[in-house]
Amino acid sequence: HHTMAIAVAVDILGCTGSMEERASTLNRLILVAIELKDTVGDLFAFTALMKALDLPQISRLEETWTTLRRNFTQTAISYEKTLKPFYKNLYEGT
């Protein structure tokens, strides 16, 4: 689980292209998280992915998150309004 989360974080942090490319990578990973949660029902992989997105090294990427919100607004909204609260509830066991 932890190794999967680290691999996802390295995928984001290792993106050395433009800010748009990094935001696009973030967008794809959030879309995968949505599919894991809603379509596949694989909560193990979903929580590993969300753990990676919640790491301080990823959440501190202010420009990347801003670019995500600008270029992929619906994905950013889904992440903030649906995925994060669901992940928090799973983590807390509620």
Per-residue pLDDT in tens (0 to 9) along the chain, 94 residues: 999 999 999 999 988 888 999 999 999 999 999 999 999 999 999 999 999 999 999 999 999 999 999 999 999 999 999 999 999 999 898 7
**What residue has token string 């790491």?**
55
Q: pTM here?
A: 0.91
Alpha helix locations (H) across 14-83?
Answer: 19-35, 43-54, 56-59, 62-71, 73-78
Q: How many CB atoms lie within 10 A of CB 18?
A: 10
Q: Residue 3: in which H helix or E strand, if any?
A: helix 2-13
